Structure 1
Amino acid sequence: MMTSTHYRTLWISDTHLGNRNTQADHLLEFLQQHTCDTLFLVGDIIDLWKMSKKGHWPKSHQAVVNHVITMAENGVRVLYVPGNHDPFFRKLVGHRLGRIEVHEEYVHTLLDGRQLLVLHGDCFDDHIAHSRVLFWIGDHAYETIVRLNRWLNQWRARLGKSYWSLSGFLKVRSKKAQHFVQQFEQKAIAEARSRGLDGIVCGHIHQAKLEEVDGVLYINDGDWLESCSSVVETQDGTLQLLHWATAHQQRVTLPPKVTKKPRPAFSS
């Protein structure tokens, strides 16, 4: 019998459903084994960019959508914050897709009272040099690397080996990629600080991270093309970054603060 872990909050982004290279099977498995009170979909959930060029919508992608809809119907609060690959949904900001709320951005209050700005992150692109070149080698080359990543891991699975990210391996060895990521992180942290908030949750750059920088939380929930990662808030307020495909429970953890009084669960 499948067991599940229940969380206060779950953040996922950059699932890129509709893209042939997305890890939809891993994502569905993850959602089936991780329930929550609140689910944030932090942009690039359905890759309308890719689908406009060449449609790809297998049963596994529809199964993920159906599962999220069922979660919402069963009482999970689901908030959709669109990104640059699903910009159509920004036209629906302030409305609902069935039981799913659509927001341009959102301020979420953790159990310990800290407030986090939740947005996709593409709003920082105009402030980063060469950001139009996807990460460091451009959109087409990036897609090629991700495709090779998919083929490589199909081969590894047949040999009984665990998932390994080729694209992640290459990115950490590229100075240009790391410079781009550092610029993005700095802009995100500065945005949270300028608003007087305690941190920020975003996606967009496909580089998962959970850390505190000079008193500001920087949280990137990664993606489901490469890292298969998500961020969760446990019932006691602990924040965890989960890398699902690599070790099924590989974690980076930040405990809750104890110095602030709890506030209501949500604020707009």
Structure 2
Amino acid sequence: FVGDTGYQFLLSLNPLINFFRRRFGLGYWSLSAYVKQRVKDAVSFIGKFEAAVVKYAQRYRVEAVLCGHIHSVSIREFGEVSYYNCGDWVETCSALVEHFDGRIEIVCKPGAGTLVPNARSAPVAGPFA
């Protein structure tokens, strides 16, 4: 829903952008197509990153990998390998927590949970609360 709404908004900007481009003697350019391609590139990068990490983990027979820094929070199973990515505290306000029983869960700052699927809000200590 959000993606579709954003895409429709970008489509609505195309005529205005191209009006000004014509005024400056430039050809047609689609903002919506540009953004759509960039999103596809980002999704492709994340998929390739996850596949490479899991392949490496399988080669060395590890049960799980914990990654971060690509701003894509995730807990997934790839065959016998558990993949954990903590996301980031800047855009998604997400983190991973390990419970005393060994479960690992995605949590996010209260009020930011709608940005991260399958996450729950957790109390945050410190200056960010």
**Secondary structure, counterpart of 2:84 in structure 1:** strand
The alignment status of 1:209 with 2:70, answered yes or no, reads no
Alignment-derived partner of residue 251 in structure 1: 119
The alignment status of 1:183 with 2:48, answered yes or no, reads yes
Q: Take 1:195 and 1:185, find their aligned partners in 2: how far apart are those partners? A: 16
Aligned-partner residue type, residue 195 of structure 1: Y
Per-residue Cα deviation, 1:140-163 (whole angstroms, up to 9, x for no partner): xxxxxxxxxxxxxxxxxxxxxxxx
Aligned-partner residue type, residue 92 of structure 2: S
Aligned-partner residue type, residue 58 of structure 2: R
Report the aligned-residue RMSD.
2.4
Alignment-derived partner of residue 195 in structure 1: 60
Contact 2:94 2:108 (8 Å CA) reproduced = yes
TM-score normalised by length of structure 2: 0.56
Q: Take 1:211 and 1:243, find their aligned partners in 2: how far apart are those partners? A: 17
Deviation for aligned residue 1:199: 1.2
Alignment-derived partner of residue 224 in structure 1: 89
**Secondary structure, counterpart of 2:119 in structure 1:** strand
Contact 1:193 1:199 (8 Å CA) reproduced = no
Q: Take 1:238 and 1:251, find their aligned partners in 2: how far apart are those partners? A: 14
Q: Take 1:181 and 1:197, find their aligned partners in 2: how far apart are those partners? A: 21
Contact 1:228 1:243 (8 Å CA) reproduced = yes
Q: Take 2:51 and 2:43, find their aligned partners in 1: how far apart are those partners? A: 12
Q: Give the fraction of aligned pairs with identical amino acids, expressed as a percent.
A: 33
Larger RCO, structures 1/2 (Cα 8 Å, 6+ apart): 1
Contact 2:107 2:119 (8 Å CA) reproduced = yes
Q: Take 1:199 and 1:186, find their aligned partners in 2: how far apart are those partners? A: 13
The within-5 A match list for 1:1-268 is 174-245=39-110, 246-247=112-113, 251=119
Contact 1:223 1:229 (8 Å CA) reproduced = yes
Aligned-partner residue type, residue 97 of structure 2: V
Q: Take 2:73 and 2:62, find their aligned partners in 1: how far apart are those partners? A: 21
Aligned-partner residue type, residue 60 of structure 2: R
Contact 2:113 2:119 (8 Å CA) reproduced = no
Deviation for aligned residue 1:189: 0.8
Q: Take 2:80 and 2:58, find their aligned partners in 1: how far apart are those partners? A: 9
Structure 2: which 5+ residue stretches go unaligned?
A: 1-34, 121-129
Number of aligned residues: 81
**Secondary structure, counterpart of 1:174 in structure 2:** helix
